[in-house]
Amino acid sequence: MTADLPDVQLSPGAPFGVYVHVPFCLTRCGYCDFNTYTPAELGGVNPDAWMQVLGSELELAAARLGGPTADTVFLGGGTPSLLGAERLCTLLEMVRQHFGVAPDAEVTTEANPESTSPELFEALREAGYTRISLGMQSVAPRVLATLDRVHSPGRAAAAAGEALAAGFEHVNLDLIYGTPGESDDDVCRSVDVAIDAGADHVSAYSLIVEEGTALARRIRRGELAAPDDDVLARRYELVDERLRAAGLDWYEVSNWSRPGGRCRHNIGYWDGGQWWGAGPGAHSFVGATRWWNVKHPNTYAQRLADAALPVAGFEQLDDDALHTEEVMLRLRIRDGLPLDILDAGERERAAVAVGDGLLQRDGERLVLTDRGRLLADAVVRALLD
């Protein structure tokens, strides 16, 4: 299924980012429902052919938007590091060619620890990448095994050290907490290793059991226990306590950083930015229009071979939908939600949430309390009800 994208225009003054979705993975992790494909699932699609059609999308995208300069570039997946240094450097040059990249742009690539090396990091830094985000998940062998991760417990921290040695000032480590069989000590050790590795940014997400994944099937068969909400809340508190004690403060519900270490690209998602998402299954948001690409790389390539954008569908958000998104997203960040965007009823409900200890006033903004972060989705629903 494909759709014709309507005319879209960038809103003036908002930051603009380019996201590139790299759909390749060597293996499929049991908890993952991302739009990724192993070599056996791809047939004739290979990285070089994919990069050719990706260049076609970037060319069409830049023509559609008038070639704006990107403030941020983010390569996600999938496993971008599987492309290797030469392709990753070429990919950044492709973005520069079609969009332009601001001199002070933040340029991030995600990477799996087992597909990195000192030589990779050195080449990426020289090419203009400024930030590395590594999938660490845990240092507990039994947790990594349950998640079907293939890297050794110490490899993520070693890779972070290699990135720092190559000159990267900004290194993120991703953690997952709440895996069946995990203990409080497993979580604490993982956080401590991330801190000791020198990362200036840590993302920590509670395990979500997605339908259709191998993990969901194992839980349904009774082989593993489903994550418990009370345990997840306690694990979040452990993560938060240890990171804040080490000087990494929260700036979004699931993200902590040292001063200057916030991920600018992701802030764009939460705080009114716009972006073009290139690659199979990537999502974009420009003006008041959101759209998403066809998922399978073969279909994606065929659509672009016909000189058409690979759009599967789109929606144009009205004022009510834009307001709902602004409340939902801005309330997740430490900078908070401006009071002046709320109507009278929402302000009354916000006052109740303040009284219940879920929100606090910070000047003319509302910010989640520590307890409110545990119930962020419920707080949003209460404000918008």
pLDDT in tens, 244-253: 999 999 999 9
Lowest mean pLDDT among 85-99, 142-156, 330-344: 142-156
What is the model's pTM?
0.95
Report yes or no: 135 and 174 within 8 Å, Cβ to Cβ.
Answer: yes
Report the percent of the chain where pLDDT is more than 90.
85
Closest residue by Cα to residue 169 from 127, 199, 126, 136: 199
16-271 CATH fold: TIM Barrel (3.20.20)
Lowest mean pLDDT among 46-50, 197-201, 234-238: 46-50
Mean pLDDT throughout 83-102?
97
Task: Kindly tell me if the per-residue pLDDT of 185 is higher than 90.
Answer: yes
Instruction: Measure the CA–CA gap between 112 and 174, rounded to whole angstroms.
Output: 10
Angle at 17 between CA 58 and CA 80, to 5 degrees: 65
pLDDT at 1: 52
pLDDT at 251: 98
Residue 43: pLDDT band by 50, 70, 90 thresholds?
low
pLDDT at 85: 97
Residue 200 tokens read as 């200036």
Mean pLDDT throughout 132-155?
92
Task: Give the residue with greater pLDDT, 31 vs 377.
Answer: 377
Task: Kindly tell me if the per-residue pLDDT of 2 is higher than 70.
Answer: no
